[in-house]
Amino acid sequence: MRWVAVSLVALASVMGSSAAQAATFYVSPEGSDSNNGRARLAEGPATGPVSSVARAVALLRTARAVRTEPEPDQIVLLPGRYALSETLILLPEDSGSAEAPLTIRAEQPGTVWLTGAAKLQGFQPVEGQPYLRTQVNLERGFHVLWVNGKLAVRARSPNRGSYFAGAANVVPAIAGDRLQRPRNPYNVINTQKVILPAEARQALAAARAPEDMAVLVALHSWTSSAHRIVYWDDAKGAVTVQPESLWSFLRFGPDQRFALENLPEFLDEAGEWWLSPKGELRYLPRAGEATASIVAEAPQLERLVWLQGTERRPVQHVRIEGLRFAHSAAWTSPYIDSQAATSVPAAVVAEHARHIQITGCRFENLGGHGLWMRRGSQFNTVRHNVFAQLGAGAIRLGEVNMPGSDADRAQSNQITDNLIEDTGLLFPGAVGIWVGQSGGNLVAHNELKRTSYTGISLGWTWGFGGSVAKENIVEFNLLRHIGQGLLSDLGGIYTLGISPGTVIRSNLIEDVRSFRKQGSTAWGIYLDEGSSDIVVENNWVAGTTGGGLHLHYGNRNTVRNNVFRGGDVAQARRSKRDDSALALERNVLWADGQPTWEREWLDDEITTLSNIVVTSGPPPRTTQGRTLQELQQAGKEQSSVWIKAKEAACSPEVCRLPPAALRATGFQPFSLKAAGIRDPGKLPR
């Protein structure tokens, strides 16, 4: 019996030791990487917190090396600013398990900054000049600068808006050539040379050496590009740029917009900055910014955190909670983009990462995208985060290319209850939430506002080719002030390619605006090239430059029980008849004086019936002038009814329509009070 008693005691000791193996490491800006990190406060020599997260990760790896089972380890960051000198990398060996995840968290949510910037101070006035200056000694330069928490503007002309290339550039591009490459001499000229209007000529002529430093930033229909000026022909008022533009200048119309940047002569408005080749930083302070109080953040790291798994060994079961990610770098010139700023880096990247949870974090003041769940990212959760003041977009899922295997797919992720605002500050073609070759994702209850381009984008296959962007659910999102009139050819929610199982439902979309003078326009829900097998239902769309719905071309799409109201051109558009089928049923098409339908609605591949057509002006009509009665005579809009606006009242919260119209069509009124973030009190401040 004595042996049994001793054995039980020994067993209890082992079990207690095993339970005690869960490790917590503390990190503090005031700590030292020579400490053991085991205590929040120093308790003796070499005790207390470490000073870097990377050191805490390294210590945790050492502690785990002697274990046989994972434990619920933690890395706790005490309040302060953590300047990262290199990317923080989490590897497969840093994984937790479902029962024992690794948690990296702020001790006090919202008080920990992980920044990729060097802090610049010591600004001094310059006699006879309005700007302040300081000397910068950085191995890498920078294209982005944040001053006192606000994005500063690289010295530019004009200070507001853009120049217009105008009719002086008369060399035509080849119509229909999607990517304007040098297969024709005219295209070579149009992608390398711009004849400047008078105001831009004067601005450039005043510069001492434009060929050495000047940058031309162009806005194309749905994207932007930035080029070095390599030759300035003062006599002809023309510039030659490199690299060549992907889209020829004036490809989308005569109102080609551009600006000039990065010359000291352009430093003439508060909030602008300029960096000389020798490291002299000049800054023109804003009102109320005293010299001694100016703190500039010059981003040096493109990627702050990288969860770096492999196809065979993913990073798994890691929780990141309550952190603030700030000041990532992005090199804004030269910059060439096809669409959606897909070449721009992200501050936090997950690759072959599974069961990762990112909650309660802030992604702010970033040069590029916020978060990119890349290849092999599966079963991850991104919830209750804030993405604000971003150079590009907020969240990206998947790749532009098809995955090579099932393990390589980005799929089955949940993006819910996030606030996204003020995106595309440096790369206006970026998307708020971009889902590329990725399927089975849930994008729900997010709030997006003040984006520079499309709000939510699904799919990355043009036409009817292969795609894995299937079974994505986009629901109960709140989207407002999308596009803001900056670019063209955009949507509140935008889709591409064959997408069986994809559902877009119960989203509230308001105020989707495009630039009206170049390229196409803006729609609330935009089913672009090849979009097929998609269900669009119970959405409220109001206030768009183009219309509530646009089908470019695609098959087997069902659009039912939505409200499309207040499109400046029409409420619903269909662009291409060939290979393009759509069922438009039981919707409310509400025209506030505009046409109801635009373009192709009469062929056999389109089913339009049982819609409630509301007008506050003339009777319903197409943009070609056909009336509702003519459409019905042609076999379209059967069982549809027309009512006048004074007979109805419709808002996102409640839709009151005549009972007879509801009985005749089967439209079911809905409320979108639940759209947007659930429990916004959980968002970090």
Looking at residue 181, its pLDDT comes to 47
The predicted model gives 86-98 an average pLDDT of: 97
Model confidence at 14, in pLDDT bands (50, 70, 90)?
A: very low
- Asked if 350 contacts 372 with a C-beta cutoff of 8 angstroms, the reply is yes
Looking at residue 7, its pLDDT comes to 37
| 468: amino acid identity, one letter | V
3-state per-residue secondary structure call for 220-272: CCCCEEEEEEEEEECCCCEEEEECCCCCCCCCCCCCCEEEEECCHHHCCCCCE
Looking at residue 674, its pLDDT comes to 97
Looking at residue 402, its pLDDT comes to 96
Looking at residue 518, its pLDDT comes to 81
Looking at residue 504, its pLDDT comes to 98
Residues in the chain: 685
Looking at residue 209, its pLDDT comes to 79
Residue 36 scores a pLDDT above 50? yes
135 phi/psi in degrees, rounded to 5: -95, 135
Question: What is the overall mean pLDDT for the chain?
Answer: 92
Q: Above pLDDT 90, what percent of the chain?
A: 82
Looking at residue 168, its pLDDT comes to 62
Looking at residue 169, its pLDDT comes to 64
Structure tokens at 376: 């092999």
Q: Which of 258-267, 512-521, 599-608 has the highest mean pLDDT?
A: 258-267
pTM for the whole thing? 0.94
Q: Give the span between the Cα atoms of 336 and 315, in whole angstroms.
A: 32
Beta-carbon neighbour count of residue 209 at 10 Å? 10
- The residue with tokens 């040096």 is 300
* Dihedral-angle region of residue 554 (phi above 0 means left; psi in -120 to 50 means alpha; beta otherwise): left
The DSSP letter of residue 197 is P
The predicted model gives 217-243 an average pLDDT of: 93
Residue 649 burial (10 A CB sphere; 0-12, 13-18, 19+): exposed
Q: Give the span between the Cα atoms of 451 and 448, in whole angstroms.
A: 7
Q: Give the span between the Cα atoms of 428 and 390, in whole angstroms.
A: 10
Q: Which of 298-302, 474-478, 557-561, 630-634 has the weakest average pLDDT?
A: 630-634
**Helix (H/G/I), strand (E/B), else coil: 432:** coil
Q: Which of 8-17, 286-295, 464-473 has the weakest average pLDDT?
A: 8-17
Distances from the Cα of 261 to the Cα of 230, 268, 280, 356, 492, angstroms: 14, 12, 17, 41, 31
Looking at residue 189, its pLDDT comes to 60
Task: Kindly report, residue by residue over 515-535, the tens digit of the pLDDT.
Answer: 988 888 999 999 999 999 999
